[in-house]
Amino acid sequence: MGEGHLPVLVDEVLTSLAVGPGSSVADCTVGGGGHAERLLETTSPDGRLLGIDADRAAIAEAERVLARFGDRVVLRHANFEAIYDTAIESGLAPLDGALFDLGLSSYQLADPARGFSFAADAPPDMRFDETSGVSALELIERSSERELAGILATFGEERRAGRIAKAIVAARSEGRIVTAADLADVVARAAPSRPGSADAGRIHPATRTFQALRVAVNREVEVLTAGLAGALAALKPGGRMAVISYHSIEDRIVKRFIARESRDCIEEPLPPVCTCGHRAQLRAVTKGVITPGPEEVRRNRRARSAKLRVAEKLA
Ligand SMILES: C[S@@+](CC[C@H](N)C(=O)[O-])C[C@H]1O[C@@H](n2cnc3c(N)ncnc32)[C@H](O)[C@@H]1O
């Protein structure tokens, strides 16, 4: 792995998770171990950390970075949708804290073989776990134009989904999509940034297409929903979960999850007498979201879209 994943909102995560010596914490997206290292320092001398990642290369990197903490660390190659079972099986449940730092790491983005970046001279794979599911290229090859447009509109909130899907299907049938760079080029030609628009010169025209394909191949909506529920179940009363998201689809899921689990009755509209039996299990610790300050954004471009939400399990 290369160098250089800077963890985002680290001080804010440590303060809001409020963990200390002896705490038991799950880092559900351990990545290069940046947040995990700080969590282990904060919970020293005897706190324990369960580090999960769907990417084997990330687990290998975390193993290297966290080696000095010895048996205070347990690492698992797993999807965080299985956080509850993994926390039980590893002996770390119930947890004092759980962290999700969503999306991809700088290591994954920088590795051309993974096909996450617009410039990658390799097939667009985009799976966090290369050992399961289908790659983005396979998804493109299997999907109809209509299905592709649906994926781009739903998971990328791409307003020009129809036009882009049409161009991708045409390029695909002519064998013109081999690498991630080819894909980015097809999208940029079909839907170039509009001069003078807010996005022009700021983000690549294929940003939303790449996001949508990544969300689809990694089943991000489904696994995040399951992961949040699993983390809540694995927390002890008074334990906290912190979630850093990087796009509006992720943040909406987190916001709705916290709102729903902070309410007793979840029937809509609220009936005079509740029959759903749902009971509030969380309280939001942060009012709204915590975002990085300008200094952090200057140091770390990846931080610019980060949003942190924190919630506490009720007693
Ligand atoms: C932004 S990085 C985390 C970086 C980490 N906080 C650090 O400081 O080094 C996100 C990580 O989450 C992993 N990931 C994404 N979705 C996952 C999932 N559903 N289950 C497990 N790991 C996942 C990715 O493979 C990636 O390594």
- Where is average pLDDT lowest: 3-7, 153-157, 259-263? 3-7
Ligand 1, closest atom to CA 30?
Answer: 5
Task: Report the chain's mean pLDDT, rounded to a whole number.
Answer: 94
Are the CB atoms for 7 and 100 separated by under 8 Å?
Answer: no
Task: Kindly report, residue by residue over 267-294, the tens digit of the pLDDT.
Answer: 888 888 899 999 999 999 988 999 999 9
CA 29–ligand 1 middle distance (angstroms): 4
Taking CA atoms only, the protein residue closest to ligand 1 atom 27 is: 31
pLDDT for the residue numbered 198: 66
Per-residue pLDDT band for 194 (boundaries 50, 70, 90) equals confident
How many A from CA of 115 to the centre of ligand 1?
Answer: 16
Q: What is the mean pLDDT of residues 101-109?
A: 93
Compute, in angstroms, the gap from residue 77 CA to the centroid of ligand 1.
11
Question: What pLDDT is recorded for position 200?
Answer: 63
225 class by beta-carbon count within 10 Å (0-12 exposed, 13-18 middle, 19+ buried): middle
Enumerate residues lining ligand 1, CB below 6 A: 5, 7, 29, 31-35, 52-55, 58, 79-80, 101, 103-105, 128, 223
What residues does each domain of the chain span? 10-107+220-313, 130-217
Query: Over the stretch 126-138, which tens digit does the pLDDT of each residue have?
Result: 999 999 999 999 9
Q: What is the DSSP string of 12-77?
A: HHHHHHT--TT-EEEETT-TTSHHHHHHHHHTTTT-EEEEEES-HHHHHHHHHHTGGGGGGEEEEE
Question: What's the pLDDT score for residue 199?
Answer: 67
At 84-99, the pLDDT tens digits run 999 999 999 999 999 9
Q: Is the pLDDT of residue 54 over 80?
A: yes
| Architecture (CATH level 2) of domain 10-107+220-313 | 3-Layer(aba) Sandwich (3.40)
List CB contacts of 202: < 8 A, sequence separation 6 or more: none
How high is the pLDDT of residue 1?
A: 41
CATH superfamily for 130-217 is Putative methyltransferase TM0872, insert domain (1.10.150.170)
Residue 2: the pLDDT is 41
**What's the pLDDT score for residue 104?**
92
Give the largest Cα separation in the chain, rounded.
61
Is the pLDDT score of 34 beyond 90? yes
What pLDDT is recorded for position 85? 98
What's the pLDDT score for residue 195?
73
pLDDT the model gives residue 41: 98
Tell how far the Cα of 86 is from the centroid of ligand 1, in angstroms: 16
Q: Average pLDDT for residues 57-66, to the nearest whole number?
A: 97
How far does residue 212's CA lie from ligand 1's centre (Å)? 17
